[in-house]
């Protein structure tokens, strides 16, 4: 107790979540090639809705090919020119399309090295229309302008598909619905005004198993975004027919509602993911609301069993508890 009719509480909750479609075919295809001018052209159909898949998938492909990111030119999400990379849902793009990008990058690298008749230890450097392949003290140069381009204007091309290995569930509910799972835990610290029933979030600590953080800044952004959605579920978002049918009346969190967030990235590379990476998008939302409700219970001694935990519901639970004394 703070002496002002307010009490603080701490709550914890955890989660696990599968990456990709459940027990269903879930393929993504990536095409990559080099133009006569020396650009690495990446055709990938994953739709970036703000989570950063354009960046992450290109990073994965660049690492697999062994060429700097700035050499890449992205052609993204155009059904006329990009292969199908599946839907942007199910926390799948980094894992599934990223794996296809890794495979395509490695396949293109293998084609170039085989053309130059060098081993896999060689390095590739692009300098305008020339490719330099170095192995030890020897350097082999390829003039791209002398090579025949295909219909897409590419002289070296690779296309690869990845579909996570899953198995359908049997009559007893046993099988392998996902190839990869993500895990996480969150701690919510908050303060409850016992007279008003209002909740002030103080801090949320989020630890999430991401396999390998391909882009740590984007991972932290996804954690913060998922927590913001979880705050909405826990404290304010409620659809009431005829009343909350627009964004004036249907409350969603703003930046002022999100407390400081401490990110803990747990990196245990998964052998199935691209460079060990897993999906993350939906995982973060799962433990936020339970952690907040547990913290409210710790602060007040009452369990709110319906979300959102609005001031009126918190006060009703407190009064019900007092009436039972």
d(CA 65, CA 139): 18
Q: Which position among 120, 238, 282, 320 bears the catalytic label?
A: 282
CB-based contacts of 198, cutoff 8 Å, min separation 6: 192, 311
Tokens linked to 172: 């007893």
Backbone angles phi, psi at 274, to 5 degrees: -65, 115
| CA atoms within 13 Å, Cβ hemisphere of 19 | 31
Are 211 and 272 a contacting pair, CB within 8 Å? no
Closest by alpha carbon to 25, among 203, 158, 223, 162?
A: 162
Runs of H (alpha helix) within 8-130: 53-65, 98-116
Instruction: List 306's β-bridge partners, or say none.
Output: none
Q: Which two tokens stand for residue 105?
A: 């990058």
Q: What are phi and psi of 126, to 5 degrees?
A: -105, 130
CB-count exposure of residue 266 (10 Å: 0-12, 13-18, 19+): middle
| C-alpha 159 chain-centroid distance | 24
Count of residues making up the chain? 325
Place of tokens 């293998």: 110
Q: Could you list the beta-strand ranges (E) of 268-311.
A: none
CA distances 242 to 28, 136, 233, 246, Å, are 41, 73, 20, 10
Is 282 catalytic? The answer is yes
Nearest CA-CA partner of 312 in 188, 193, 191 = 193
Active site residues: 282
């Amino acid at each position: 107790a703070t002496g002002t009719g307010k009490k603080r509480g701490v709550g914890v909750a955890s989660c696990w979540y599968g990456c990709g479609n459940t027990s269903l075919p879930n393929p993504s295809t990536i095409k990559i090639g080099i133009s006569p001018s020396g650009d690495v052209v990446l055709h990938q159909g994953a739709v970036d809705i703000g989570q950063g898949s354009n960046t992450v998938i290109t990073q994965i492909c660049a690492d697999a090919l062994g060429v700097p990111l700035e050499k890449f030119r992205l052609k993204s999400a155009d059904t006329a020119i990009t292969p199908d990379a599946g839907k942007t849902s199910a926390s799948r793009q980094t894992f599934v399309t990223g794996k296809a990008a890794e495979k395509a990058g490695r396949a293109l690298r293998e084609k170039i090295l085989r053309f130059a008749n060098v081993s896999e230890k060689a390095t590739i450097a692009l300098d305008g229309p020339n490719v330099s392949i170095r192995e030890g003290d020897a350097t082999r140069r390829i003039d791209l302008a002398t090579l025949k381009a295909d219909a897409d204007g590419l002289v070296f091309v690779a296309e690869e598909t990845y579909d996570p290995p899953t198995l359908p569930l049997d009559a007893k509910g046993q099988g392998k619905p996902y190839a990869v799972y993500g895990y996480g835990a969150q701690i919510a610290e908050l303060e409850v005004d016992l007279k008003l029933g209002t909740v002030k979030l103080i801090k949320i600590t989020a630890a999430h198993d991401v396999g390998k953080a391909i882009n740590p800044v984007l991972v932290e952004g996804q954690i913060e975004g998922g927590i913001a959605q979880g705050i909405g579920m826990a404290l304010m978002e409620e659809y009431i027919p005829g009343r909350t049918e627009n964004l004036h009346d249907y409350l969603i969190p703003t930046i002022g509602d999100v407390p400081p967030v401490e990110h803990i990235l747990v990196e245990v590379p998964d052998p199935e993911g691209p460079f060990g990476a897993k999906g993350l998008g939906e995982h973060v939302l799962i433990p936020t609301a339970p952690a907040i409700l547990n913290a409210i219970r710790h602060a007040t001694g009452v369990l709110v069993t319906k979300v959102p935990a609005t001031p009126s519901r918190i006060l009703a639970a407190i009064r019900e508890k007092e009436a039972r004394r």
